[in-house]
Amino acid sequence: VSSFQFTPSRLEIEAGDRVIWRNAEGFHNVQADDGSFRCAEGCDREGGDGDPSAALWTVTRTFGSAGTVPYFCEVHGGPGGTGMAGVIVVRAGR
């Protein structure tokens, strides 16, 4: 997370893999289009605070099932790949 973009913006993983978002600069968070997670300094509903933050936060999430997970920064982006957004493609595991 830097310069108002997620890098890489499209990431393919296998079910069970972990994804780590690391805020390198700026005031950001990461929120799933479907609301399944909202994170920055930890995640909402999981003991953390998903409000956008300029801290150099790191968020780790495990994606257990195949599917496509679009997400965005609620300060600089929006659902549907608008602005500062990305997508994780989770393939079925072996």
For position 85 contacting Cu ion by CB under 5 A, the verdict is no
For position 76 contacting Cu ion by CB under 5 A, the verdict is yes
Total residues binding Cu ion (CB under 5 A)? 5
Binding segment toward Cu ion, per CB under 5 A, in 37-45, 54-62, 63-71, 84-92: 84-92
- Minimum Å gap between C-beta 40 and Cu ion is 10
25 closest CA partner among 49, 44, 38, 6:
6
List 40, 43, 59, 73, residue binding Cu ion (CB under 5 A): 73
